[in-house]
Structure 1
Amino acid sequence: MVNWKKCLPHLRVLPEDEFLRESLEATAPSVSELEEERHSVTDKDASDKNASAINSSSDVIDVEDGQSIAYNKLKKNTPYELRNESNRPWWKFFDEYEYRLNKEYRKSRKWYEFLYPNHTTQSPSERRLLYKLDIMIAFYFFMLSWSKSVDSNNYTNAYVSNMKEDLKMKGNDYIHTSTISNVGAIVFQLPFMYLLPRFPAHLLLPVMDLGWTWFTFACYRVKTLHELQGYRFILNAFGAAYYPVSQYIMGCWYAPDEISSRVCLFFCGNLLGGVTSGLLQGRIFKSLDGVHGLAGWRWMFLIDAIAISLPTAILGFFVIPGIPSKCYSLFLTDEEIRIARIRNKRNQINDGVDKSKLKPLWNRSLWKKVFCNPTFWVLGIFDVCSWNNMTAFSGSYALWLKANKKYSIVQVNNLSVLPACLGFAYVFFCAFGADLFRCKWFFMVFAAIMNTASCAILIKWNVNSKAKWYAFLTTYFSVAASPCLWSFINDFLRFDPQVKAITWIAIYSFSQSTNAWIPNLAWQTTESPKFHTGYTVSLIFGVIYGLWTFVVLFFYKKNEKKHALGNGIILYNEEKGETPPAFIETDLELRSDGYYYVR
């Protein structure tokens, strides 16, 4: 008889996990002893064609000299580059992966393999794992992002499709309703500081999505502006988990030179939602306006909820795999889960901690660890600038089209998708370029330059028609670098899951809160369609964003230098009177390929 429970997501407990739990209960040995025992079990269970590839990254030796940091461990069968920092050229500051990758790792990837790198340290099974992850995680979050974007953009499309007249909206009611919606998302994000490290994401996200779906459906029946504002507030409260949880999960499965391309799919889903919403609304308004006594914009909310949001929520329950250390996947094999865990060891990613080891959320030392770290403030400013330079989501382009009397409502909805369509190319250019060239900062600065140029033209406003169209059609450069930004954040925070959860939510909530009140001042509907203040504010944040990228790069390089040994690089500087560390003689041996290996 088939056990039907196996068809539902359940915690995947590997033999070594069970052995570790029993050992803890029976003898409570030291952490180092548990590591030895766990690896011996792994060796036994994984004795197939991939065993050597997996175990090569499993055995570790703690370094007890000046380079001893929690994640700086020597790994067996891993090549170590001995690097003298004397006479280091100034331009090395711009080499983002200087301390992230050693020479062996750099040369072992062909340029055309950047999506599925087959380094000498990897096995064919690892590539198959990436294929599966792209379907289960990257493609699913693409669908989820598309679903959320359709629902969000539908508000603007409904507004220009007679919702304004039907609900008697006037003055700044449009932007005030958007602000109220954002407040709902901000307030209800905060509990995820506690929930993220403790509860499985394959339950958190789908449950929240079901709430989002219900209140999207409810929007079709609104009779008054206040009723709409109430529904949009609750709807966005249920959508609070969507951004941070999805990025938290992706950061637990992908390596730093893989993640930007996958986050790119997430943002492409966002852009596709903008395109889909405009085209759907245009078609629905034309075909269903007045059918069964319902206005066209009401039909859009109905279709969003039943045909788009609901299936996505149900699918998430089955495909979201949790994290490698606490995997709930129905589709990954035990071997692939082991490989994912070894990948995280190789990339120094700590994806999860047992609940019993998590500090209480009110623990003072935990918050001190978050707020007394410059990483929090550097990334916080970075994210605030990213949120507030986004002219693409201001709705200004659609309102400009509506103010132009030569376009009908259907034409306004159809033309409103043009910037988002071009946005696909901008996002792909920046995200894929970042992974291909292993250089996020360049594409972030480039996108900031393009965005500020767009804002400058729109501030001038009285320009010829071609220049104005160019400016509107390049506004999506304001979001093009977002995959690079989120990749940076994931890489900064990969060492401590609890600090990562708190920092992610705090940064995101604070940034979104500024985006709740700044547009209220800068993008007042009464200034439509010129929005001189809005474009000026976006230009200022865009300039800061581009310049702040170099500050982030400085702290990133500083952080990775501390963890260089864990990245396969042994550093010393003869100019400062330093010599190669003592453990080279005691624990390592130099082989014919020019790299050091654990004896």
Structure 2
Amino acid sequence: MATLPTKDVAATAISPVLPPSPPIDDAQWGEKRKPLRRRVRELLWDSFDRSPAERRFIAKIDFFILTWAGFSYFSKNLNSNNLSNAYVSGMKEELNVVGNQYQTFTTMWTIGYVISQIPSQLVCTRVRLSLWCPSWELFWVIVTFASSAVKTPYQLYACRFLVGLAEGTFYPAVHTVLGGWYTKQELAKRACIFFASAFIGSMFSGYLQAALYTGMNGVHGLAGWRWLFVFDGVITLPMAVWGYYALPDLPSNTRVHWLKAEEKELALERMRKAGKHLEEPFTIHGLKRILKKWHFWVYTAYYTFFICSENIGTYMNLWLKSLDRYSVSQINTYPTVINAVTIVTTLCYGWVSDGLQVRAPIVYFSLGVCFFAACNLAVWDGVPFGLKWASFYLTGFAQGSGPVFLTMVNEHCAGDSLERKFILGTTNSVAYAFNAWIPLITYNTNYAPRFLVGNSVTVGLIVCAAATLTLAVWLQRRDG
């Protein structure tokens, strides 16, 4: 196993670097000033100006990784949205859902989602991702099929908990894989493409429910809402099986047959140039090392503030309903524009972030837009109708900066493989642990659509997020 020179004590204590390879052209890695034409080509798509061999390599990993990750995330978000669609399409009456039982469905999912992420990331330091992730995907499919057969709310409680447990292993693991294979010129785009696929599922859910309810309600004795879960399982099953073949683990331990030997060497060379290290298994000593650094505390704090501030746009339908001027179809359709805004801005963030090689400015921009929208909705009285409407849509600018921030985490923790995996898990897990109960207090539906407390708290959360991001940027620059 190759090691760093003895004079580099700090890096050696973390993990050995990837094996050295013959030098490559520095211009290929952006270390020389590039002509404008070449920079424009790279802004459009980063592999356009690479060597033919590297273009083929990038195209391969794009196809295999992003098809599995994107379609899987699409189906998971489709499933989450289908729960609410099923509730208003007959599930409430058929299962006799009363009181706060619907909220409990979401709570059970959140509990499973939160508790599985950190343990899963630690297991991934010792178990191959190509076995771990697709196996949980298959488990998710089984539980989703089971959700279509529940007879009581309590059975659905169990299903939602197990679905959350399986989903919790997915998101941080995908970012671990992306960070392992892509360079700084490529990573943000792929992270944003992956993230945007979830919101396509959100937009698609309502139309799917309408189609299934119309065409499948009563077929084989199943209500239309039950067919939603059957459909989720059917479209996800091929992706789960595909994952066993498509997921390439990491460059240091990949065994996939679709990469040639020279392409595996190229992957190692790319990661060596990016300063990334061989994988380190989880140990108590390694965990203590992580907790002594600022990365865990500051990155996790930022992401918690960020996630908890995202709830502001989810209540547009309650505002529209309170106006008594829109049909049920309009109330359900108009808020989906927020998802469209999120998809467009997410992809723009990824391209600009990689093209200009900036991370934090993208996140600051999204926070600024959301701060403006949150202030308008917090003031409420005296804010023109059109500005309120625009403010709800502007909240869609926020979420797409999440993968850009995680790209920043991926890059800054690249030199410590255990820390990188651990923090990718803790940021999401801790954030959703807080987000499970904060909206129940701040966005109590008894105060809809004004939500003075909720919108005001969101303004404060955005300010805290910006302050924490500033601290992170300062500490990163201090560390060099």
Q: Provide the TM-score with structure 1 as the length reference.
A: 0.72
Q: CA deviation at 1:237?
A: 0.7
Is residue 21–residue 269 contact of structure 2 (8 Å, CA) maintained in 1? no
Structure 2: which amino acid aligns with 1:544? Answer: C
Unaligned runs of 5+ in 1: 1-19, 21-30, 33-60, 82-100, 562-599
In structure 2, the partner of 1:204 is: 132
Q: Which structure has greater helix proportion?
A: 2
* Structure-1 separation of matches of 2:175 and 2:384: 41
Q: CA deviation at 1:217?
A: 1.9
* Structure-2 separation of matches of 1:553 and 1:107: 30
The partner residue of 2:248 within 305, 310, 321 is 321
**Could you list the per-position Cα deviations for residues 509-548 of structure 1 after superposition, in whole angstroms to 9, with x for gaps in the alignment?**
2222111221222233433444333322322222222333
Stretch moving more, 106-115 or 228-237: 106-115
Structure 1: which amino acid aligns with 2:111? Answer: V
* Structure-2 separation of matches of 1:328 and 1:147: 27
1:269-288 alignment runs, 5 A limit: 269-288=197-216
1:292-371 alignment runs, 5 A limit: 293-306=221-234, 308-353=235-280, 358=281, 360=283, 363=284, 365-371=285-291
Unaligned runs of 5+ in 2: none
Is residue 41–residue 48 contact of structure 2 (8 Å, CA) maintained in 1? no
Question: 3-state SS of the aligned residue for 2:183?
Answer: coil
Q: CA deviation at 1:291?
A: 4.8
* Structure-1 separation of matches of 2:88 and 2:250: 42
* Structure-1 separation of matches of 2:286 and 2:208: 47
**Could you list the per-position Cα deviations for residues 326-383 of structure 1 after superposition, in whole angstroms to 9, with x for gaps in the alignment?**
1132311111111000001010112424xxxx353xx2x2222111001111111121
In structure 2, the partner of 1:555 is: 475
Task: Calculate percent identity across the aligned residue pairs.
Answer: 26
Is residue 186–residue 509 contact of structure 1 (8 Å, CA) maintained in 2? yes
Is residue 142–residue 269 contact of structure 1 (8 Å, CA) maintained in 2? yes
Structure 2: which amino acid aligns with 1:556? Answer: Q
Structure 2: which amino acid aligns with 1:116? Answer: D
User: Quick one: structure 1 residues 398 and 154, their matched pair in 2 at CA, closer, same or farther if it must change by over 3 Å?
Assistant: farther
Q: CA deviation at 1:166?
A: 4.3
Q: CA deviation at 1:155?
A: 1.8
**Could you list the per-position Cα deviations for residues 442-488 of structure 1 after superposition, in whole angstroms to 9, with x for gaps in the alignment?**
11111111112222222234444322221222222220201211101
In structure 1, the partner of 2:377 is: 458
1:509-548 alignment runs, 5 A limit: 509-548=429-468
* Structure-2 separation of matches of 1:401 and 1:162: 23
* Structure-2 separation of matches of 1:258 and 1:324: 16
Counterpart check, 1:470 vs 2:397 = no
* Structure-2 separation of matches of 1:445 and 1:235: 33
In structure 2, the partner of 1:48 is: none
In structure 2, the partner of 1:236 is: 164
Q: CA deviation at 1:228?
A: 2.1
* Structure-2 separation of matches of 1:269 and 1:454: 25
User: Quick one: structure 1 residues 412 and 301, their matched pair in 2 at CA, closer, same or farther if it must change by over 3 Å?
Assistant: farther
Answer with 1 or 2: which has the greater Rg.
1
The partner residue of 1:116 within 46, 49, 53 is 46
Q: Which structure has greater strand proportion?
A: 1
Is residue 150–residue 304 contact of structure 1 (8 Å, CA) maintained in 2? yes
Counterpart check, 1:192 vs 2:120 = yes
1:39-50 alignment runs, 5 A limit: none
In structure 2, the partner of 1:375 is: 295
In structure 2, the partner of 1:93 is: none
Question: 3-state SS of the aligned residue for 1:239?
Answer: helix
**Could you list the per-position Cα deviations for residues 109-149 of structure 1 after superposition, in whole angstroms to 9, with x for gaps in the alignment?**
52321332577xx6431222111111111233111111111
- CA RMSD, 1 decimal: 3.0
User: Quick one: structure 1 residues 172 and 460, their matched pair in 2 at CA, closer, same or farther if it must change by over 3 Å?
Assistant: farther
Counterpart check, 1:259 vs 2:157 = no
Q: Provide the TM-score with structure 2 as the length reference.
A: 0.89
Question: 3-state SS of the aligned residue for 1:474?
Answer: helix
Stretch moving more, 368-377 or 471-480: 471-480
User: Quick one: structure 1 residues 337 and 380, their matched pair in 2 at CA, closer, same or farther if it must change by over 3 Å?
Assistant: same
* Structure-1 separation of matches of 2:398 and 2:329: 27
User: Quick one: structure 1 residues 531 and 231, their matched pair in 2 at CA, closer, same or farther if it must change by over 3 Å?
Assistant: farther
User: Quick one: structure 1 residues 296 and 359, their matched pair in 2 at CA, closer, same or farther if it must change by over 3 Å?
Assistant: closer
In structure 1, the partner of 2:403 is: 483
In structure 1, the partner of 2:178 is: 250
Counterpart check, 1:268 vs 2:190 = no
1:576-587 alignment runs, 5 A limit: none
Q: CA deviation at 1:107?
A: 6.7
Structure 1: which amino acid aligns with 2:456? Answer: T
Stretch moving more, 541-550 or 400-409: 400-409
* Structure-1 separation of matches of 2:26 and 2:131: 41
Is residue 156–residue 395 contact of structure 1 (8 Å, CA) maintained in 2? no
In structure 1, the partner of 2:81 is: 153
**Could you list the per-position Cα deviations for residues 393-444 of structure 1 after superposition, in whole angstroms to 9, with x for gaps in the alignment?**
x742344455565555444444342211121111122221111111111111
* Structure-1 separation of matches of 2:51 and 2:275: 18
* Structure-1 separation of matches of 2:30 and 2:242: 40
Is residue 259–residue 487 contact of structure 1 (8 Å, CA) maintained in 2? yes
Question: 3-state SS of the aligned residue for 2:388?
Answer: helix
* Structure-2 separation of matches of 1:473 and 1:162: 30
User: Quick one: structure 1 residues 244 and 320, their matched pair in 2 at CA, closer, same or farther if it must change by over 3 Å?
Assistant: same
Is residue 147–residue 273 contact of structure 1 (8 Å, CA) maintained in 2? yes
User: Quick one: structure 1 residues 75 and 226, their matched pair in 2 at CA, closer, same or farther if it must change by over 3 Å?
Assistant: closer
Q: CA deviation at 1:191?
A: 2.3
1:377-396 alignment runs, 5 A limit: 377-391=297-311, 395-396=314-315
In structure 2, the partner of 1:575 is: none
* Structure-2 separation of matches of 1:77 and 1:237: 44
Question: 3-state SS of the aligned residue for 1:475?
Answer: helix
Q: CA deviation at 1:76?
A: 6.7
Q: CA deviation at 1:256?
A: 1.8
Is residue 11–residue 415 contact of structure 2 (8 Å, CA) maintained in 1? no
Is residue 371–residue 459 contact of structure 2 (8 Å, CA) maintained in 1? yes
In structure 2, the partner of 1:43 is: none
Is residue 260–residue 487 contact of structure 1 (8 Å, CA) maintained in 2? yes
